Amino acid sequence: MANNTLLRIKIIVGSTRQNRFSEKPAGWIFEETKKLEGVEAELLDLRDYPMPFIDDPMPPSMAKGQYSNEIVKKWAEKINDGDAFIIVTPEYNHGYSAVLKNALDVIYPEWNRKPVGFVSYGSAVGARAVEQLRQVAVELQMAPIRNSIHIPVDIFFAAMMGKGPTGPEMFKPVREGMMGDRVQIFFDDLLWWAKALKAARTKSA
């Protein structure tokens, strides 16, 4: 498959705290994404992009991709290169992390007209954080997909206490629940939107 037809999917680790759980589901979904045909996956860790809270005088939605901070510029390049995104998010106090909100807010056109799906964990399996992120995604002119992956609480707590399976085996129940293979359902949804929106962006370029 030619490079211009590859779907470039960026997986974003939405937490930077010490002893974070997010590395585990992010690494897992990254490996699952790499197995998809016609897909080029990349893991983006916000620890590698210590961006300031928005301090440019021009709002990102009006800056036309011109950013003063060098780290923000590098972040913008990575996001601009993506055709779709998977955001791995914790739930903190009924919402998502401040560092993730800032990563979304510091740039703007690079997100536009691209799909995003969510992998969440924490209180209420992260569902409330995902609902808020969907609203933000719409304002960024993204297409948040309906299906998401919510890590069961027993997996999350067992991992945090150093118990239970490790590695990919930890997430095996996500594929074997009563509602079917949630990972396959998630990818089917994300890839449909990624292909459709990439074709539309290419046509209108």
**Cα torsion 187, 124, 171, 98: sign:** positive
Contacts for 54-63 with beta carbons within 8 Å, 24 or more apart?
A: 54/102, 54/105, 54/106, 59/108, 60/105, 60/106, 60/107, 60/108, 61/108, 61/109, 63/108
Parse the chain into domains and list their residue ranges.
Answer: 7-204
Q: What's the pLDDT score for residue 159?
A: 74
Mean pLDDT (10-residue bins), the chain, 205 residues: 78 94 94 96 98 90 92 98 98 95 97 98 92 98 96 80 72 76 94 97 85
Q: What's the pLDDT score for residue 168?
A: 76
Is the distance from CB of 117 to CB of 126 less than 8 angstroms?
A: no
Q: What's the pLDDT score for residue 173?
A: 79
Q: In DSSP terms, which residues pair with 42 in a beta bridge?
A: 10
Q: What's the pLDDT score for residue 3?
A: 58
Q: What's the pLDDT score for residue 163?
A: 74
| Closest C-alpha among 4, 42, 30, 57 to residue 167 | 30
Q: Give the global pTM.
A: 0.93
Q: What's the pLDDT score for residue 144?
A: 98
Q: What's the pLDDT score for residue 1?
A: 37
Q: In DSSP terms, which residues pair with 89 in a beta bridge?
A: 120
Q: What's the pLDDT score for residue 56?
A: 86
**Superfamily for 7-204?**
Flavodoxin domain (3.40.50.360)
